[in-house]
Structure 1
Amino acid sequence: MLTRSTLAALAFLLAAGGAEAETIRIAATPGPHAQILEAVKPVAAAKGLDIKILEFSDYVVPNQALDAGEIEANSFQNLPYLDNQKADRGYKIEPVALTVNFPLGIYSRKWKSWAEVPDGASIAIQNDPTNGGRSLLLLQDKGVIKLKDGVGFKPTIIDIVENPKKLRFVELEAAQTPRALDDVDAAAINTNYAVSAGLDPVKGPILKEEAKGPYVNLIAVRSVDKDKPWVKTLVEAYHSPEVKAFVAEKFKGSVLTSW
């Protein structure tokens, strides 16, 4: 005969086993961001959180969807970009955790080194203020151009005060810069788009951003959700040893973890 304590224990186990996992929708750009979330998914599932990953091919829609409540979180952007979006569009979105860093690179199919790039060369950069500015800052750091003082993290081509090689800048959506490689001398390409295009972000760039800086990516949620329990669970799953090992093995130095 089953004792009262045994029956109580069985009832608890049945209730726990039948509990439905909480489900959240999280947006990411194709490539490493989405791939890393696939590694996060089973870790989160073990903690009772079911992640549905939605891929968007640009940098605008994920914040629009998040602010509108169509998704619960996104993982694709850095803080300068998020701050710019909030200032321009009034989004009520907050960062809740740092994720990974993708050092930006300048790639070329025509030239093997930056020294070979001729005067008057065409350089594709991103047309959004944060990523385009990041590319210009990279070129300044490498001594290619000089920007006016006080431009912060969002300079534009009108802020260039010295351009000794008389480079011509072509502004494109960030996702389009890899496709421009056959038409320009070089292109600034975010690592996630470089990987998606089959480029090698470790050995491929003819100029490369330093690993440290303000451009570490993050998980963002709506301000009203930032203290909800599922946010803590999501962050713990992302920052797990399993995900850290996945990033190291999968990307071999082209993507760096922040934890």
Structure 2
Amino acid sequence: MRKFLVFLSMIAVLFLVACSGDDNAGDSGDKVKVKIGVNGADGELWPILKEKAAKENIEIELIEFQDYTLPNNALAQGDLDMNAFQHIAFLGQYVKESGEDIVPIGSTMLAPMGLYSEKIKDVSELQKGDKIAIPDDPSNQARALRLLEGADLITLADDFGMFGDPSQVVDNPLNLEIIPMTAQQTPRVLPDVAGSIINNGIAGQAGFSPNEDPILKEEVTDDSTHPYVNVLAVRSEDKNNETYLRLVELYQDADVEEAIKKDTNDGAFLVKLTSEQLEKVFEDMKK
């Protein structure tokens, strides 16, 4: 009988040890894999972030996309765990149109948009009837038109909002021909237009210095630029996932900030919005 009781005690101890091991699975060396959709993975940023994450047993797998729609579709369908390629305004418009339940969980960088040209050095050199290329996705199209308005080249309707289009240009003294097109095409058409408004990241990929090469660039102010702050996005069900939130924290470390500056030739910089700021701007963008 005594031997039987000893045997039961040993079984109980083993059971408790096993349960304890299960409770601390995240600390026992188990690796968590996170698939992140990106639009370009060149430069130092992602290797640095991957190395930092690996030290915490988080393996980042980057999935590259060539356009601005597929990364959100892939995330919504469960093919990705997270994506990192878009600003809040773009995500808000996507969610509004698609009905998909994707949310931002952390801010990353702000990349001012610029007007580039192979033919002129200053916007004052623009001539009547000149062609200007702009991105055609709703949020960046409106952003590009506001850039032109800020340079007094056009005037937009009072109700233009965050997602207006060229039909809401109410005054165009130079009769500029504004040509919306896929964002990736904007640098490629430079030989055929007087100027092209190019997203910061695409400009960098095309070999431009987003800090030095634009003949016109967005003025960076506080609240007005929040809709254009890039974000890490996940499905709503994962917004409190500790691993994903930890990646947000790692992204906002100083060495990642330096990598952003280096990768973009000081054309973009890290922005740390609070969760309250992030939620407010995102909700505004979905209206």
Is the TM-score greater than 0.5?
A: yes
For residue 20 of structure 1, the aligned residue among 13, 30, 35 is 30
Question: Are the aligned partners of 2:45 and 2:263 in contact in 1 as well (CA < 8 Å)?
Answer: no
What is the rounded CA distance, in whole Å, between the counterparts of 2:180 and 2:258 in structure 1? 36
Percent identity between the two aligned chains:
34
Where does structure 1 lack aligned partners over 5 or more consecutive residues? 1-7
The answer for the alignment partner of 2:251 in structure 1 is 238
Q: Structure 2 matches for 1:106-121, cutoff 5 A?
A: 106-121=115-130
Q: Does 1:191 align with 2:204?
A: no
Q: Counterpart of 1:221 in structure 2: which amino acid?
A: V
Provide Cα deviations, 1:106-163, integer angstroms capped at 9, x if missing partner. Answer: 0000111111111110000111111111100111112111110122111100010010
Look up the match of 1:164. 173
In 1, Cα distance between equivalents of 2:130 and 2:260 = 35
Q: 2:40 aligns with which of 22, 30, 36?
A: 30
Partners of 2:46 and 2:82 in 1: CA distance: 12
Confirm or deny: 8 A CA contact 1:107 1:187 kept in the other structure.
yes
Q: 1:52 aligns with which of 43, 47, 61?
A: 61
Please report how far the alpha carbon of residue 249 of structure 1 lies from its aligned counterpart in structure 2 after TM superposition: 3.6
Task: State the Cα deviation string for residues 181-234 of structure 1 (Å, max 9, x = none).
Answer: 011111010011101111121111111011231311100000011111111211
**Aligned residue for 1:3?**
none
Q: TM-score, normalised by structure 1?
A: 0.90
Partner of 2:190: 181
List gaps (5 residues or longer) in structure 2.
1-16, 273-287
The answer to whether structure 1 residue 257 and structure 2 residue 270 are counterparts is: yes
Which TM-score applies when normalising by structure 2? 0.81
Match among 104, 123, 138 for residue 95 of structure 1: 104
2:156 corresponds to 1:143: no
Larger radius of gyration: 2
**How many pairs does the alignment contain?**
246
Query: Does the C-alpha gap of structure 1 residues 31 and 41 become closer, same or farther in structure 2, counting only changes over 3 Å?
Result: closer
SS at match of 2:89: helix
